Every structure is written in structure tokens, then in C-alpha cells.
Amino acid sequence: MSQGWSRRKQAILLMIAAATLWSTAGVASRHLQSAAGFEIVFWRSLFAGIFVAGLMLHQYGRGFASRLKLMGSTGAVSGLMWAIMYSCFMTALTLTTVANTSVMESLAPLLTALLSWLVLKERIPVASWIAIALAGCGMGWMFAGNLSVTDSRGVLGMLVALGIPLASSVNMILLKRRSHTVDLIPAVFLGGTFSALAMLPLSLPFQASMQDVLILGALGFFQLGLPCSLMVKASAHLKAHEVALLALLEVLLAPLWAWLGAGEVPATATLAGGALVLAALVGNEIRTLRQKHT
């Protein structure tokens, strides 16, 4: 088996791990006492930045600052995209429903594939387009019963939520263009820093209890900082649209953790739609595996 294929398998496992960690946000947030909205984004982003800073200090020591400089403008833009994703998610949830936000998030594979085709000149197989379409249908099925836009606030929320897949797809293109030559994990640190600074004035006065800060600290470390770093590593060995597709596992697993950890039984439509998304993801990877061995 070629070294390249072995690295690809490792990258798939890294993305599965990243999506699994991302999916824990919902069940963990059920245990928050008083923190809400912008303050959640602030603490989570702050601790994500601290976690990645710790990783960089451990790996590079005194070379921490030089690694930030080496990224140049690419790293700054990537950091901005991370910050937009961190901030738009919670902001959207204050304006519209989780279902509306999740459906907008599901546009990421389509937008990423389009940008890969236009910017990177990647050939996207027909089977991958089909997988993207099926995954999108599955996401719609999962949340169809909860979709609603009844006023201008809801429309604004969906527009804010659109920033998540837009920033995600731009970030993936940056990662694919530069991750082989520049370490872009420090951009995750910049994302946490930018997001925390942007949310700070909106978070005051702080209302989080000590329990809240501990939960949000754990989320910042293990639900943002670590999985985003894993995604950066994985992106070097996977196509951009594959990373975006595998990231949808987050939305599949979130209802499972809410069921197991908070007693929230998923609806039949959630299970059926999730099965369709999962079939699309597994089918796409099996197809790629067969191509590699033929």
C-alpha cells in the first residue's frame, strides 16, 4: 500500500475525530447555568486560542512568534475565516433556529466543491457531486420539520448563518493552496483571538458561573482548538470537498450525544435524514477507495 494512501486513511480518521469533537457542543451547552449568546462565543474562542497557543509553544518554543509571521497574509485571512465561523454560529443561533442554522451550514460541501473547481481547477468527480447533493437532501430531511422563517429577524439569522459555509469554503481553499508549504495551525490561534476580541464588548457584563467557564474552557480546548487543528492536518491529504463532506458528521452526531447525554430523543425524520447523509459520506469514501486500488 502506498505511503500516500496510508496518509489519506490517517487524514480520514483525523476528520472523523474532528467532527466527533465538534459535535459535542450541543450536549455540553445543556449544562450551562447562566452564560448565553455572545459570552459563550467569547469564552469558547478565548480558550480555543489558549489551547492552540499551548500546542505551538510546546512544538516550537521560542519560535512561536516566527511561525505566525511565516504564515503571512494567507494565515491572517485563514484566521479571519476561523473567527467568522466561530462567531457566526452562535450569533445565528441568537437570531434564528438551530435547524435553520444547520441547513445553512450544510451548504459548505457544495460551496467548497465550486470554489475548488473554479480556483484550484480540481476535477470534481460526478459521484462526488451526487454525494454532495444526497448529503444536502439528507440535511434538509433531518431538519425540515423545524425550519421556519417568520420575520425579518429569522431572515437575518439565516444570512448570518450563511457566513459559516462561505468562510469554511474560503478557508478550505487557502488550506489546500498553502498547507503543503506553510503550517497553518497557527491560523486557528488567530481565529480564536480575533473572535474573542470581537465578542468581548458584546459579552459584557459577564454572567457565566464558574461551572460555565469550566465547561466553555473544555469546549474551547477539545471542541474547537483540537478538532480545528486536526482538520488543518487532514486537509493536506484530502480534497477540499471531501473535508467539507466529512465535516457534516458533526451534524449527524450532535443529536446522538443529545439523546445519550441529555435525554433528547431524535425525531424519525432526523434519523432518516441522518442515514441518507451517512450513506452519502460512506459511499463517497468507498468509491475513492476502490479507485485507488484499480
Q: What are phi and psi of 181, to 5 degrees?
A: -115, -20
Reported pTM: 0.87
pLDDT of residue 42: 95
pLDDT of residue 136: 85
Model confidence pLDDT, tens digit, residues 261-294: 767 676 777 778 878 888 888 887 777 666 655 5
pLDDT of residue 213: 96
Going by C-beta distance under 8 Å and a sequence separation of 6 or more, which residues neighbour residue 151? none
Which segments in the chain show pLDDT lower than 70? 1-5, 145-150, 179, 262, 264, 266, 288-294
Which residue in 137, 40, 135, 30 sits closest to 86, CA to CA?
Answer: 40
Model confidence pLDDT, tens digit, residues 88-131: 887 887 777 777 777 888 888 889 999 999 998 888 888 888 88
DSSP string for residues in 237-252: TS-HHHHHHHHTHHHH
SS (H, E, C) 219-232: HHHHHHHHHHHHHH
pLDDT of residue 67: 81
Rounded Cα distance between 57 and 119, Å, is 34
DSSP string for residues in 52-80: HHHHHHHHHGGGHHHHHHHHHHHHHHHHH
Exposed e or buried b per residue across 96-134, where buried means at least 16 C-beta atoms within 10 angstroms of its C-beta: bbebbbbbbbbbbbbbbbebbeeeeebebeeebeebbeb
